[in-house]
Structure 1
Amino acid sequence: MFVITDVNQDMDVTVAGAGPVGLLLAAELALAGVSVQVLERRTEPDDAMKAQGINIPTAEALDRRGLLPAAAQMQRETLARTGAPGGWVGDRAPGAVSRFTGHFAGMSLDPELVDWSDPDFTAHAAASGVRLVPQPRLEALLAEHVARLGVPVHRGVEVVAVEDTGDGVLVGTAAGPVRTGWLVGCDGGHSAVRRLAGIEFPGAAPELTGYQAVADIAEPSGLADGWVWSAAGVYRCGPQPGRIAVMEFGAVADRTAPVTLAELQASLRRVSGTDVTLTALRAPASRWSDNTRQAATYRSGRILLAGDAAHVHPPFGGQGLNLGAGDAMNLGWKLAAVIAGRSPENLLDSYDAERRPLGTWVMSWTRAQIAVLRGDAKSAALREVVADLLNTRDGTTHAVKKIAGVTQRIDLPGNHELIGRYAPDLWLRDGSRLADHGHDGKFLLLDRSPDGKFARLATAWPERVRSLTECDPPHAHPSDMPHGHPSDTTDSHPSGMSDGLPVGMLVRPDGVVAWACTSVDDQAIADLSTALHRWAGARPV
């Protein structure tokens, strides 16, 4: 347990929770020059089996901060340790991994049915090959990232009280009181910050208990391969040896206690109808439920919520991890801008407005899978209908795009099709990639106008906006990117961009396109000025 002198008493932001969401948020704040610390009630990182991969927006967030090569190395290590799981297919290079599909309600999505030439995929080529990064490995990567940025992470410090004083937050902890400018709860579905702040958490109570584990099985041949349904629930063995997933309907277990071998074995026996014997757990198992809730607000004064503290749902497809990562990227630069006085406090209203609809969608997407997974006759009939739809090129492509996150869009003003979407993976004429220029978390302004009109306008924000013109000197890009040549990404592109690039594009620090145009005229200049004032804040004096 840390004593009071270990915890900083005067920080701009205190983040509760040192999981991937809390660490990513802390890194974004530190990158923007904000003083930030992380408090974590656990004394050691959580190595329980959870999300096994990341979606494309999360991979691209790592890419923009220069972390994708490290993530790619973690993927290689994971594949070497476990072997390629179902849903991954290799490209022409032996052993290479390029595509991930996943499943919908236990129905595997066939990679051969996916239209990989769809512009929503080809616009995000570089990150698409780095998806198999398990949650504990991602957490380790981000822990190294915040350490390099000088962010202190205090373990064994539990938040026990909060008080918003109007000009800051008093945080009661097991190590003593802490005063901070802002408090962000990234402390999970049972968030102490949310509870202590009095933020309601409406939704649906759990009706099932699920488990993920890797175990030694005495006679694995007694269990069927793949997903198997029964009246009691659903289970799957594989694709890696010893990998077990169990969902038992009507059972609501205590999620605060560690999963024991006996508990997992009993649930698997009830669902499978066998007398299977598990002899050992190879790593800590995880337990989850279909508890589905969303915070009434993501912000109450100087207290904010992100990740599972703001929304919980069944974990299909690792959607919770990726949704939380998006929260952190969206909130980080906005909170930093408010703290620095560059933007008014109402900028934080856009955090809830932009992230809530995505959280609502994920809740619906995962709840629909629960309905399809149930063991009753009606759900079985529905499962057949859904399986038929997923066994088509259009159906599989649609589902994989949703899982991958490439269709995500937030509602922003403007008519260009890119506005509100994550910026495409673009190669510039100097041989660099757009993501290569985002390592320091600034806004990126792509200017392809003949006379640099867009870049000249942005000179009023020199510390916040980096302008990229075709005459800029080359910037090196990582040599070990999964896609190593511009031809990998420019042959196909979203419609309206003749060579894959708009004439002008403003990208926020979270990767979202705030403005884009296809021609240079007075309206384009006016729209860019509006976007810069709205998102980059007031011009420096």
Structure 2
Amino acid sequence: MCFNHNMKAAQDHLIYDVVISGAGPVGLFLACELALAKCSVLILEKAENPHSPLKQLPFGIRGLSASTIEALYRRGLLDELKIHQRLKNPHQNAGQGARRHVGHFAGIPLYDGNIDASQWKSRLPTSTSASLISEMEELETVLARRAEALGVEIQRGFAVTDFHQTEDQVTVQSSDYSFQGQWLVGCDGARSIIRKAGGFEFPGTEPEFTGYSTHVDLADPEKLSQGRVVTPQGMYLQSQPGFVVIQDFDGGAFHHTGEPITLKHVQEVLRRISNTEVTISALHIATTWTDRARQAATYRNGRVFLAGDAAHIHAPLGGQGLNLGLGDAMNLGWKLAAAIHNTAPEGLLDSYQAERHPIGAQVLDWSRAQVAIMRPDPHARAVNAIFRDLVNTRDGATYIAGRLWGLFTHYDLGGAHPLVGHSVPNFEFEDGTTIGELMRDGKGILLDFDGNTLLGALASEYDCQMKYVSGRAKEQLDLSTVLIRPDGVIAWASDSEPNEQSIRQATALWFAQ
């Protein structure tokens, strides 16, 4: 049975279906997914002002991977992002044509001309881009606008300090106020209060370096090279004049001191790393970060979930963190909504941990591997040279790009067909409509290329959660029937006439009558 939980929230006087801590991209996207499924959502955000120079170019630059781009496209949000339409790469010396830089592994540039996209068989001519440039502020603005249009309540200047949960709800404390919800999700970043208050274990590895992101005026800019420069002491990157990133392999010591970042200190570090006598005449912005890599042992504690940096942290090498967090939101959103509407099959909420935790572990190891070959020592330099040769081969570049852009993301759903657990290809039907455009309402899809009347009747039994789509596509990859979850993941597929029992069993795993 379908019904509107926003009405229930109004009647219960601030008893929300879900309270989310954190109005970053992960919290906002999760709120959009929940509100699309007619759940009442409150976001509590400690910052009063969502704007910050660190969220804007060039500091706020983020590379969006294929899975994120697909998710935004499937919800009608991709066209609202404008920066990528005018800015292919904001870094100087990014190259052109086949030598255009499209990413990196441990600072080793990945060239567009070395990538063989034909190896990715399920990517169709209608597929969205595998990667594009965005900005944190732009992404947050687009997601906040959509969330508010869907009825999400965003309260800024409310820092969550604690929570208490019972069997049927969670009470969230923020200063002198308390809020109630059926569920609580911590999307409150690397220093997550929800994670700490909830007693989530957070094991991992300690940092190798302190990273600095700075905006400076240089008295003698000719002393620093443009682009990424690896030295015997570390690495510095000048993406644009005066915007300098530094990696100092001090074991994260300075970052953990919490000391103010002064002009004198940044100059000392930059001189040592660059092996120059460069002079900084003004320090406008400076922040530090590390490659500490940790992951919550579990993403759930009763009625409390973690997503994004609250669940996993690592070095921001290659821009994996944002995409990982948005993947958490896409995975959790429809499952939590099903639980709220009492349409979740047994074990559906547990599948969030089962599916997303291994993906998070892979990204952490991807980050650690890069740090291991960036260290300023002979052993790391030797391995780095080998990787440099591999990345400059056709197969090596294609593999790195596939990992970097999330094209290999896969959930082990136990299906026999090789596409099960992968993102559904963007099939285009004869009328020009694509499968991505048909997912704007957030429902699952039973896709029938052969017009089997049995499937239409089956889909009608799940009309609240799934719709039936029948028609021929321009390229069907030899498929006959595809069961697609609301997050765009293929739950079941067949290249022959489907067996009713098999598809009923598969449907029951993801959708409840």
The TM-score, its normalising length taken from structure 1, stands at: 0.86
2:5 is matched with: none
CA offset at residue 143 of structure 1? 1.2
For residues 233-254 of structure 1, what are the alpha-carbon distances to aligned partners after superposition, in whole Å with 9 as ceiling and x for unaligned? 111222x343322111114334
Whichever residue aligns with residue 295 of structure 1, its letter is: A
Q: Go from structure 1 to structure 2 and tell me whether the alpha carbon gap of 1:242 and 1:345 turns closer, same or farther (over 3 Å shift).
A: farther
Q: Aligned pair 1:512/2:489, yes or no?
A: yes
Whichever residue aligns with residue 276 of structure 2, its letter is: T
After superposing the two structures, state which structure 1 stretch, 158-167 or 32-41, moved more. 158-167
The within-5 A match list for 1:259-338 is 261-280=263-282, 284-338=285-339
1:15 is matched with: 20
The within-5 A match list for 1:110-509 is 110-120=111-121, 122-123=123-124, 126-128=127-129, 131-238=132-239, 240-250=240-250, 251-254=252-255, 261-280=263-282, 284-344=285-345, 346-470=347-471, 499-500=476-477, 502-509=479-486
Q: Aligned pair 1:526/2:463, yes or no?
A: no
For residues 394-447 of structure 1, what are the alpha-carbon distances to aligned partners after superposition, in whole Å with 9 as ceiling and x for unaligned? 111100110010111010021111100011121112210111111110002211
State the secondary structure of the residue aligned to 2:383: helix
After superposing the two structures, state which structure 1 stretch, 141-150 or 45-54, moved more. 45-54
CA contact (8 A) 1:64 1:439 kept: yes
CA contact (8 A) 1:86 1:102 kept: no
Equivalenced residues, count: 494
Whichever residue aligns with residue 455 of structure 1, its letter is: G
Q: Go from structure 1 to structure 2 and tell me whether the alpha carbon gap of 1:85 and 1:360 turns closer, same or farther (over 3 Å shift).
A: farther
Aligned counterparts of 2:263 and 2:29: Cα–Cα separation in 1: 33
Q: Go from structure 1 to structure 2 and tell me whether the alpha carbon gap of 1:106 and 1:182 turns closer, same or farther (over 3 Å shift).
A: same
CA offset at residue 230 of structure 1? 2.7
Q: Go from structure 1 to structure 2 and tell me whether the alpha carbon gap of 1:516 and 1:260 turns closer, same or farther (over 3 Å shift).
A: farther
CA contact (8 A) 1:430 1:470 kept: no
- Work out the percentage of aligned pairs sharing the same amino acid: 41
2:83 is matched with: 74
Identify unmatched segments of 5+ residues in structure 1. 1-7, 92-98, 472-485, 491-497
Aligned counterparts of 1:501 and 1:153: Cα–Cα separation in 2: 46
Aligned counterparts of 2:441 and 2:265: Cα–Cα separation in 1: 47
Q: Go from structure 1 to structure 2 and tell me whether the alpha carbon gap of 1:499 and 1:330 turns closer, same or farther (over 3 Å shift).
A: closer
CA contact (8 A) 1:75 1:130 kept: no
CA contact (8 A) 1:185 1:304 kept: yes
CA offset at residue 50 of structure 1? 4.2
Whichever residue aligns with residue 272 of structure 2, its letter is: R
What RMSD over aligned residues (CA atoms) do the two structures have, in Å?
2.4
1:477 is matched with: none
CA offset at residue 216 of structure 1? 3.5
Whichever residue aligns with residue 161 of structure 2, its letter is: V
1:494 is matched with: none
Identify unmatched segments of 5+ residues in structure 2. 1-12
Q: Go from structure 1 to structure 2 and tell me whether the alpha carbon gap of 1:421 and 1:354 turns closer, same or farther (over 3 Å shift).
A: same
Aligned counterparts of 1:446 and 1:366: Cα–Cα separation in 2: 37
Aligned counterparts of 1:178 and 1:133: Cα–Cα separation in 2: 34
Aligned counterparts of 2:238 and 2:367: Cα–Cα separation in 1: 21
State the secondary structure of the residue aligned to 2:253: coil
State the secondary structure of the residue aligned to 2:409: coil
Aligned counterparts of 2:440 and 2:265: Cα–Cα separation in 1: 45
1:55 is matched with: 65
State the secondary structure of the residue aligned to 1:170: strand
Whichever residue aligns with residue 74 of structure 1, its letter is: I
Whichever residue aligns with residue 312 of structure 1, its letter is: I
The TM-score, its normalising length taken from structure 2, stands at: 0.90
After superposing the two structures, state which structure 1 stretch, 511-520 or 337-346, moved more. 337-346
CA contact (8 A) 1:235 1:271 kept: yes
CA contact (8 A) 1:419 1:516 kept: yes
1:42 is matched with: 47
Whichever residue aligns with residue 204 of structure 2, its letter is: G
Which residue of 31, 38, 63 maps to 1:33?
38
CA offset at residue 273 of structure 1? 1.9
The within-5 A match list for 1:89-108 is 101-108=102-109
For residues 306-360 of structure 1, what are the alpha-carbon distances to aligned partners after superposition, in whole Å with 9 as ceiling and x for unaligned? 0010011111111010000000000000001001111156311100000011001
State the secondary structure of the residue aligned to 2:43: strand
CA offset at residue 138 of structure 1? 1.1
CA offset at residue 467 of structure 1? 1.4
After superposing the two structures, state which structure 1 stretch, 13-22 or 174-183, moved more. 174-183
CA offset at residue 52 of structure 1? 1.9
CA offset at residue 38 of structure 1? 0.4
CA contact (8 A) 2:210 2:255 kept: no
